[in-house]
Amino acid sequence: MTLPAWIEWLLAILLFDAWTYYWHRINHRVPFLWRFHRVHHSDPHMDVTTANRFHTGEIVMSSILRIPLIILLGASIEQLALYELLMFAVVQFHHANISVSERWDRVLRLFIVTPYMHKVHHSRWQPETDSNYSSLLSIWDRLFRSFRINEKPGSLRLGLDEFDSPADQTIPGMLKTPAVKVKQPKEKKTHHP
């Protein structure tokens, strides 16, 4: 049975986005992957540059793993391009250092990831860091029980304690981040700092 074209396109976008959610989540769970992903989280000032701040190792691994997914889904280059375009726009939006009214943020985050929702993900407090993994559609965090909102947005501190020096924020510092051994492993704190 052949599905209507619009359903195929919608399914392709949903499946690509589900994969992106899963990939992001395992980057937080698997220590080897976290060593690369922490380059993205070490930025103490979240803005649109943070949306593009990924270690080349993470980009290469993500790209290699996406190839079998594209083949398995039977997705077209056009479907991938549309997904990437939509995701890129939303990722730039939710990393931007902009304010959306609380009311609009609440409405928008029913559908897409918003700046406030994603800012919680960039918190230094690990239970917040380990939440809100979605990139485009916010449904995945609700579906997989990783959605979290901080009722006091002013209390959020961004970045990672282990990478606070100015040298860590330079290109050479970021490139070395995966090789840096952190004295304390990522703790599972249960109380807010």
Question: pLDDT digits over 74-126, tens only?
Answer: 889 999 999 999 999 999 999 998 888 889 999 999 999 999 999 999 999 99
Q: Which of 187, 180, 186 is nearest to 55 (CA)?
A: 180
Q: What is the mean pLDDT of residues 148-163?
A: 88
Helix, strand, coil percentages for the chain (3-state, nearest 5): 60, 0, 35
Six token digits for residue 164 = 């606070």
Give yes or no for residue 187 having a pLDDT over 60: no
Backbone angles phi and psi of 74, in degrees to 5: 70, 30
Amino acid 189: pLDDT: 46
| pTM score of the predicted model | 0.88
Residue 182 CB burial class (10 angstroms; 0-12, 13-18, ≥19): middle
Q: Tell me the CB-side half-sphere exposure of residue 59, using CA atoms within 13 A.
A: 9
Q: What is the mean pLDDT of residues 51-59?
A: 92
Question: Would you say 141 and 111 are in contact if contact means Cβ atoms under 8 Å apart?
Answer: no
Confidence of residue 151 (pLDDT cuts 50, 70, 90): confident
Give yes or no for residue 190 having a pLDDT over 50: no
Amino acid 185: pLDDT: 47
Alpha helices in 45-101 (DSSP H): 48-51, 56-73, 77-95
Confidence of residue 72 (pLDDT cuts 50, 70, 90): confident
Q: What is the mean pLDDT of residues 179-185?
A: 74
Amino acid 97: pLDDT: 84
Amino acid at 79: Q
CA distance 107 to 100: 11
Amino acid 91: pLDDT: 95
For a pLDDT cut of 90, what percent of the chain falls above it? Answer: 72
Question: Would you say 23 and 142 are in contact if contact means Cβ atoms under 8 Å apart?
Answer: no
Amino acid 41: pLDDT: 95
CA distance 130 to 84: 24
Question: Would you say 122 and 41 are in contact if contact means Cβ atoms under 8 Å apart?
Answer: yes
